[in-house]
Structure formats: structure tokens, C-alpha cells
Amino acid sequence: MVLACIFVSVPFVVRETVPVLQEIGTEQEQAAETLGASGWQTFWRVTLPAIRWGVAYGVVLCTARVLGEFGAVSIVSGHITGETQTLPLFVEQQYQNFNLPGAFGAAVLLALLALVVLMAMNLLKRKEAA
């Protein structure tokens, strides 16, 4: 399940991060180098902080994608309740088993989670733009 999720969602992080990296260029890293910072120090103190909102936004997008994942997990993970199931799969399963209250409960929870992610995204988008 984890592998399937990584496979479908990591491109979101990359797509968010790469433009930010391109925008800041390599001058700041070169400046850090001339000041004596090693590769790791440059990455942790200069590169990562500079792209942190881009990365965070990518991670949230990633989460949103994974929350609603259905097909990839269903095919790859084996669909075992409580172990390798995403919420949408659980909803589908309960619905198939005629457990309507269970299905609706899980669906509402999914909707709430989606709202939280949406708010987080908006907040980060603003930070990233600033």
C-alpha cells in the first residue's frame, strides 16, 4: 500500500519543488560554499529553508492524493481491512456489505479530512507566495 501510494503521489512533491529550486538558482548555494559551508551544511541551512514552503505544499498535495487513492492501492495491496486499505476502499467495502451507516460515517470522516487538507493547502500557498 505504501509503495503504491508513493508511486502515485511523489510526482506532486517534485512538481511543486522543482520550479521553486529553479527560481532561486544556484547563487545562494555558491555563496554558502565560498563562506566555507560543506555540501550538507549548504543543503540544510540554505537550500532546504529556501524551498521549505514549496516542499510542504507538495507534501500536502501528496497527502490529498493519497487520502482519496482507490485504484492503485486496491490492485497492489490486496485490500485487507484495517491493514492495507485506504478510506475510499473502506467505504466501498462497507457499502458492498450493506453496512450503510458505516459507509456514511467513513465518508463523512473522509470529507472532513479533505477540508482540513484544503485549508492547509491554502495556508501554505499564501506562505509560498510571500
**Positions in the binding site for other proteins (CB under 8 A):** 24, 27-28, 30-38, 41, 45-46, 49-50, 52
Residue 10 Cβ, how far from other proteins at the closest point, in Å?
25
Q: Please state the closest distance from residue 14 (CB atom) to other proteins, in A.
A: 21
Rounded-to-integer distance, Cα 10 and Cα 109, Å: 24
Q: How far is the CB of 121 from other proteins (least distance, A)?
A: 21
* CB-based contact 106:90 (threshold 8 Å): yes
- Cell of residue 18, nine digits: 522543482
All three cell numbers of 67: 487520502
Yes or no: say if 74 and 93 are a contact pair by the CB < 8 Å rule: no
Shortest distance (Å) from residue 37 CB to other proteins = 5
Grid-cell match 505544499, residue found:
57
Q: Is the CB of 25 or the CB of 101 nearer to other proteins?
A: 25
CB-nearer residue toward other proteins: 41 or 99? 41
DSSP-assigned states of every residue in 18-69: HHHHHHH-SHHHHHHHHTT--HHHHIIIIIHHHHHHHHHHHHHHHHHHHHT-
Of residues 48 and 119, the one with the C-beta less far from other proteins: 48
* Closer residue to other proteins, CB minimum distance, 4 or 51: 51
